[in-house]
């Protein structure tokens, strides 16, 4: 069972935000779904044996990239050819 406090914590970890009004419903649904997931406890066997692997890496060839203005076109905030992001410190 997860509590409302757990769900609040997960919402913060995942940066999805949650309002106090939503917390009860999300917690209820979470518990229903996790209870369903719990049947996996009974699963027997080993995870996929890694086999038939081969390397798909290719040579790193330099190709023309998109022009800067096209790359920046969808960014909502930009300055001097850079994308502006929220403060980290």
Q: Is 64 in the site for another protein (CB under 8 A)?
A: no
Paired residues of 82 in beta bridges: 79
Identify whether the C-beta of residue 30 lies closer than 8 Å to the C-beta of residue 2. Answer: yes
For residue 43, state whether it binds another protein (rule: CB under 8 A): yes
* Torsion, Cα of 77, 81, 85, 89 (10° steps): -140
- Please tell me whether residue 47 binds another protein under the rule CB under 8 A: yes
The footprint of another protein (CB under 8 A) covers: 2, 6-7, 10-19, 22, 26, 29-30, 32-34, 36-37, 39-48, 56-58, 66, 70-71, 73-77, 83-88
């Amino acid at each position: 069972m997860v509590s409302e406090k757990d769900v609040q914590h997960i919402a913060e970890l995942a940066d999805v935000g949650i309002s106090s009004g939503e917390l009860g419903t999300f917690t209820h649904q979470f518990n229903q779904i996790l209870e369903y997931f719990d049947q996996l406890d009974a699963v027997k066997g080993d995870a996929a044996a890694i086999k038939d692997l081969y390397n798909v890496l290719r040579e790193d060839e330099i190709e023309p990239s998109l022009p800067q203005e096209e790359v920046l076109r969808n960014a909502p905030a930009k300055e001097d050819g850079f994308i502006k992001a929220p403060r980290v410190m």
